[in-house]
Amino acid sequence: MRKAAAAAVAAAAAVGVALLVRRQLREAKRWGRADAVLRELEERCAAPPARLRQVADAMAVEMHAGLASEGGSKLKMIISYVDALPSGEEKGVFYALDLGGTNFRVLRVQLGGKEGRVIKQEHDEISIPPHLMTGGSNELFDFIASSLAKFVASEGEDFHLAEGRQRELGFTFSFPVKQTSIASGTLINWTKGFSIDETVGEDVVTELTKALERQGLDMKVTALINDTIGTLAGGRYDDNDVIAAVILGTGTNAAYVERANAIPKWHDLLPKSGDMVINMEWGNFRSSHLPLTEFDQALDAESLNPGEQVYEKLISGMYLGEIVRRVLLKMAEEASLFGDEVPPKLKIPFIIRTPYMSMMHCDRSPDLRTVGAKLKDILGVQSTSLKTRRLVVDVCDIVAKRAACLAAAGIHGILKKLGRDVPNTDKQRTVIAVNGGLYEHYTIFAECVESTLRDVLGEEVSSTIVIKLAKDGSGIGAALLAAAHSQYREAEEL
């Protein structure tokens, strides 16, 4: 009897051990599959200095091609007609209007020249009623002009408009426009939820000016720009060594100061300054040297613009969280990363936004508490092991650092085009103004951009290169460009 009981216990123990061993084998296999996905991702995203220099070379080649002829490159290299950036000498009251989405901003500044700089500034933000985004052109611009008129009416005694002068405005219009002069451009098409057919093909400055006249507001638009050029203007106002601006936010773009005689497609008279600001539209850059994965290719194929904005889809805040989601989905499907069931929410495109990715990536707690909390909040995963959380952080790290490395390669391409990628005897500073929430708030991303640029340029060159955070280019930058291109500028210079 005792022997039989002992045998039964032994048999049960053997079954228990077998089950445990089987479970451990299954776990090991599961982690092996997850690790294989991670290793392949790491391999495909690899961006060593030699490869980044190839990307920079390709960027510089495309820049040359885009300057040579319209349609000659994936980079549009748009002539902005901005031939004068702020010098710091500007004086007076100037306004800015920033229209780029469902809200718009109005801003005014009092400039005090070299000594006073920006003496005072005020702004207001206004929501556009949804029905105006799909209504008539006059209705939209009348609403904007009316809001601007109210803002002008609130101008206090601290703002001093010189007697006999018209108020002047810089207009940041962040929609596709064919620019025809510093203060004119025809709308190519609306984006971001706007759909007003009668405005397409019309000069947006003329539309705004007519609306201002209907309001009885005596104001002249002296500069039509986008946010990247505004960032360049604001950066140059603060630091005379700024030669380029880069937006690293939800989207990405770059603008820089080119010599006008180095633009073959420029057929007009050379500007007095000899310079011309070029809006690169670099989000559309593409090269065989870009490290692409199956996740990037699937994201691109399912996007609204397949084959376009490839560089932007690799480096901008709009897409980084989505790339991470796609990697985690594969791990969940092939390696049961979050348990036997794939979390339904993980199948929802863009549910992991880049700010959430940044929070998880930057979690420094020993148990990665923030990662666990975010996976629960976003995906509904109730509990995760530390091993799972570490794997999620590893995925964020690979995706974010590839993006940062490629952004640095783009900046290197601009420096190469301008001959600033080699040592110079006089140790001249070269400053890049950077704006955008991705760079400003995602610390690991920003640090990686800077360290990568140092690695590809070498110590001697990188000691003269400065990356500087520049805020509110679309606001203050537009007002500064209104001042730099004022109708009274030449009279003041006499």
Decide: 435 and 245 in contact? Cβ < 8 Å: yes
φ and ψ at residue 46, rounded to 5 degrees: -55, 130
List the catalytic residue out of 73, 147, 174, 336. 174
Average pLDDT, the chain: 91
27: which strand partners? none
- Give pLDDT, residue 412: 98
Instruction: For 67-84, write each residue's pLDDT tens digit.
Output: 999 988 999 999 999 999
How far is Cα 67 from Cα 222, in angstroms, rounded to an integer? Answer: 25
What is the DSSP code string of 269-293?
PPPTTSEEEEE--GGG---TTS---
Which pair of tokens denotes residue 366?
């020993």
Question: pLDDT for 342-359, tens place per residue?
Answer: 999 999 999 999 999 999
Q: Kindly indicate the confidence band of residue 9, based on its pLDDT and cuts at 50, 70 and 90.
A: low
Give the predicted TM-score (pTM) of the model.
Answer: 0.89
From 105, 325, 402, 420, the catalytic residue:
105
Within the chain, all domains assigned CATH 3.30.420.40 are found at: 81-225
Contact partners, residue 482, CB within 8 Å, separation at least 6: 94, 95, 96, 168, 169, 170, 221, 222, 223
β-strand pairing of 184-187 with 78-79: unpaired
At the second CATH level, the architecture of 47-78+239-471 is: 3-Layer(aba) Sandwich (3.40)
Helix then strand then coil, in percent of the chain rounded to 5, is: 50, 15, 30
Architecture of domain 81-225: 2-Layer Sandwich (3.30)
Helix (H, G, I), strand (E, B) or coil at 349: coil
The residue with greater pLDDT, 309 or 23, is 309
Q: From CA 146, how far away is CA 362, in angstroms rounded? A: 45
Write down the pLDDT at residue 1.
59
Both structure tokens of 181: 């002069």
Highest-confidence range of 20-29, 171-180, 441-450, 483-492, by mean pLDDT?
441-450
Say how far apart CA 65 and CA 74 lie, in whole Å.
9
What is the CA 411 to chain-centroid distance, rounded?
Answer: 13
The alpha helices in 380-494, defined as continuous H runs, are: 386-417, 437-441, 443-457, 459-462, 478-484, 489-493
CA distances from 124 to 50, 100, 102, 160, 329 (A): 47, 15, 14, 19, 42
- CATH 3.40.367.20 residue ranges in the chain? 47-78+239-471
* Mean of pLDDT values over 405-428: 93
**First vs last C-alpha separation in the chain:** 117
Nearest-angstrom CA–CA distance, 253 and 317 = 12
Is 165 catalytic? The answer is no
In the residue annotation, 105 being an active-site residue is answered as: yes
- Rg of the chain in Å (alpha carbons): 27
Catalytic residue among 98, 142, 203, 227: 227
Asked if residue 5 has pLDDT above 80, the reply is: no
Residue 174 appears among annotated catalytic residues: yes
Which is higher by pLDDT, 177 or 456?
A: 456
Least confident window among 34-38, 232-236, 243-247, 490-494: 490-494
- Nearest C-alpha neighbor of 335 from the set 29, 4, 2: 29
Rounded to whole angstroms, the Cα distance separating 396 from 357 reads: 6
Length of the chain: 494
In 20-157, the DSSP E strands lie at 78-79, 91-99, 103-112, 118-127
- Residue 25: what pLDDT? 63
List the 430-435 sheet strands across, edge first: 78-79, 275-279, 252-259, 242-248, 430-435, 465-469
What is the rounded average pLDDT of the residues 10-30?
62
Angstrom CA distances, 202 to 38, 96, 263, 445, stand at 50, 21, 27, 40
| Res 332: pLDDT | 95
Q: For residue 494, name the pLDDT band (cuts at 50, 70, 90).
A: very low
Per mean pLDDT, which of 97-101, 417-421, 423-427 is the most reliable?
417-421
Identify the CA nearest to 399 among candidates 300, 308, 285, 322. Answer: 322
